[in-house]
């Protein structure tokens, strides 16, 4: 079966990380999000994937040399302009000539959904479209999907005011579609599948169904969710080891390649320390992922954070619940706190504090 993976969005909520790297190519514990998704699709029998591209398309083409990933053939459908989630599906399907049942997924979803069970449910109901639902505590920022007892969708409600949602089952961004859906999407026009195409399909009864499951699911859209994805993957919620080539030095302490860890450094599980990382004496790394070549200076602290490759903390610096982009640096005694993001190559000056802030990508890195 073929799958269309939507990876053409700009990822604005994760800027400035996404200024230089499209969101699906950002690492989640050492492995790009889209690779984690492709592994999941392959495990469920998908043999051909169309990457639906728009923003920074060359980065994907360069990332997958040979246009293959494991057992799957990859095709690229590059939109001339953003077509929204439905327009992108039609464009991608036409690009490869999809004329049979297929799967669509948002490229920012991390899940252990049993895709086969979703397809079986779709076939049993004779559905035109079937949507995976996940249950969340607060659906007020999401699209909720109440259903009839047999799973037929009753309505789509976008961003219900707090306390008014009839259900907390939300559209989880994986769909099984019959090719007839494509004719319901206007060609070459920006259209949203969740806000326009699916609600219109409800005009005919018996077409749109949804299956709620308790599988692991996370939409990696914001800095908070990016850090949550790391915490979950490091805690083994997507399987163990968190990334294929990691070795477990002590319970929950994962190392890759050659690392330079001072005997007086403290590592508090779960942590992932990438190849070429250096952690100096007196430094503390807790609940964090350090990308290849990152360095943590003497008495510096990395707490529940992510350092992308080559990021650097000088002596006494602190990074808590934040993300440092590729080659970013935090100078002596500076602090980066509360879901801050420091762009690629940017520098946080010595003895300053950044709280919930964003530092743009350095001119040299953009
Ligand atoms: P934000 O800008 O932070 O909202 O992130 P985003 O660009 O990823 O948007 P959103 O989370 O709403 O998109 C859900 C999925 O659809 C993501 O995997 C996007 O890459 C993808 N997507 C959104 N818009 C388009 C589009 O116009 N074309 C294509 N091909 N994909 C899209």
Give residue 20's pLDDT: 93
CB 345 less than 6 A from any atom of ligand 1:
no
Give residue 188's pLDDT: 84
The class level of CATH for 2-221 reads alpha beta
Closest protein CA for atom 11 of ligand 1? 221
Give the chain's count of helices (H) and strands (E): 8, 34
Q: How confident is the model at residue 366 (pLDDT cuts 50, 70, 90)?
A: low
Give residue 245's pLDDT: 92
Closest protein CA for atom 31 of ligand 1? 8
> Quick one: which atom of ligand 1 is closest to the CA of 222?
3
> Quick one: which atom of ligand 1 is closest to the CA of 13?
3
Give residue 45's pLDDT: 93
Share of the chain above pLDDT 90, in %: 93
**Across residues 121-141, what is the average pLDDT?**
96
35 touches 110 (CB < 8 A): no
**Average confidence score pLDDT of the chain:** 96
Closest protein CA for atom 14 of ligand 1? 106
Closest protein CA for atom 26 of ligand 1? 84
CB 252 less than 6 A from any atom of ligand 1:
no
CA 90 – ligand 1 centroid, Å: 15
Give residue 146's pLDDT: 97
Sequence-ordered list of residues with C-beta below 8 angstroms from that of 17, at least 6 positions apart, any chain? 11, 23, 26, 226, 308, 323, 325, 341, 343, 344
CB 54 less than 6 A from any atom of ligand 1:
yes
Residue 347: is its pLDDT beyond 90?
yes
CA 234 – ligand 1 centroid, Å: 26
**Total-model pTM:** 0.95
Among 5, 6, 88, say which to mutate for ligand 1: greatest number of ligand atoms within 8 Å of CB. 6
CA distance from start to end of the chain: 38
CATH 3.90.550.10-classified regions of the chain: 2-221
| pLDDT, tens digit, 9 for 90 and up, residues 182-218 | 999 998 889 999 999 999 999 999 999 999 999 999 9
CB 106 less than 6 A from any atom of ligand 1:
yes
Q: How confident is the model at residue 286 (pLDDT cuts 50, 70, 90)?
A: very high
CB 10 less than 6 A from any atom of ligand 1:
yes
CB 85 less than 6 A from any atom of ligand 1:
yes
| pLDDT, tens digit, 9 for 90 and up, residues 108-127 | 999 999 999 999 999 999 99
Q: What is the DSSP letter of 233?
A: H
| pLDDT, tens digit, 9 for 90 and up, residues 63-105 | 998 788 988 999 999 999 999 999 999 999 999 999 999 999 9
CB 52 less than 6 A from any atom of ligand 1:
yes
Closest protein CA for atom 7 of ligand 1? 9
CA 85 – ligand 1 centroid, Å: 7
Label residue 15 exposed, middle or buried (CB < 10 Å: 0-12, 13-18, 19+): middle
Domain 248-365 sits in CATH at 2.160.10.10
| pLDDT, tens digit, 9 for 90 and up, residues 233-262 | 999 999 889 998 999 999 999 999 999 999
CA 230 – ligand 1 centroid, Å: 21
Structure tokens at 22: 């499209």
CB 108 less than 6 A from any atom of ligand 1:
yes
Run of H or E including 103: strand 102-106
CATH 2.160.10.10-classified regions of the chain: 248-365
CB 23 less than 6 A from any atom of ligand 1:
yes
**Across residues 300-325, what is the average pLDDT?**
98
CB 222 less than 6 A from any atom of ligand 1:
no
Q: What is the DSSP letter of 237?
A: B
| pLDDT, tens digit, 9 for 90 and up, residues 145-195 | 999 999 999 999 999 998 899 999 999 999 999 999 999 999 888 999 999
């Amino acid at each position: 079966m073929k799958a269309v993976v939507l990876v053409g969005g700009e990822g604005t909520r994760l800027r400035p990380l996404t200024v230089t790297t499209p969101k699906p190519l950002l690492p989640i514990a050492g492995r790009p999000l889209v690779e984690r998704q492709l592994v999941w699709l392959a495990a469920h029998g998908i043999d051909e994937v169309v990457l639906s591209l728009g923003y920074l398309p060359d980065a994907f083409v360069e990332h997958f040399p040979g246009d293959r990933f494991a057992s799957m053939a990859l095709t690229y459908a590059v939109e001339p302009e953003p077509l929204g989630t439905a327009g992108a599906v039609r464009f991608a399907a036409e690009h490869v000539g999809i004329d049979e049942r297929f799967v669509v997924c948002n490229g920012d979803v991390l899940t252990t959904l049993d895709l086969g069970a979703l397809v079986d449910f779709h076939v049993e109901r004779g559905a035109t479209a079937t949507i995976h639902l996940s249950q969340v505590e607060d659906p007020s920022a999401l699209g909720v999907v109440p259903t009839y007892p047999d799973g037929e969708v009753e309505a789509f409600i976008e961003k219900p005011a707090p306390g008014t949602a009839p259900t907390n089952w939300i559209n989880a961004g994986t769909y099984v579609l019959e090719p007839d859906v494509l004719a319901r999407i206007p060609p070459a026009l920006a259209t949203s599948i969740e806000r326009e195409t699916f609600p219109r399909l409800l005009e005919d009864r018996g077409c749109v169904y949804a299956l709620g499951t308790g599988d692991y699911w996370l939409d990696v859209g914001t800095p908070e969710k990016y850090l949550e994805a790391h915490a979950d993957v490091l805690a083994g919620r997507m399987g163990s080891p968190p990334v294929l080539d990691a070795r477990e030095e002590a319970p929950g302490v994962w190392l890759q390649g050659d690392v330079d860890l001072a005997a007086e450094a403290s590592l508090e599980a779960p942590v992932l320390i990438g190849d070429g990382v250096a952690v100096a004496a007196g430094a503390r790394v807790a609940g964090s992922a350090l990308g290849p070549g990152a360095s943590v200076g003497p008495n510096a602290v990395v707490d529940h954070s992510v350092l992308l490759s080559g990021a650097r903390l000088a002596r006494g610096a602190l990074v808590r619940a934040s993300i440092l982009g590729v080659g970013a640096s935090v100078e002596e005694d500076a602090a980066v706190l509360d879901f801050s993001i420091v762009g690629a190559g940017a520098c946080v000056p010595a003895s300053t504090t950044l709280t919930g802030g964003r530092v743009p990508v350095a001119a040299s890195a953009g």
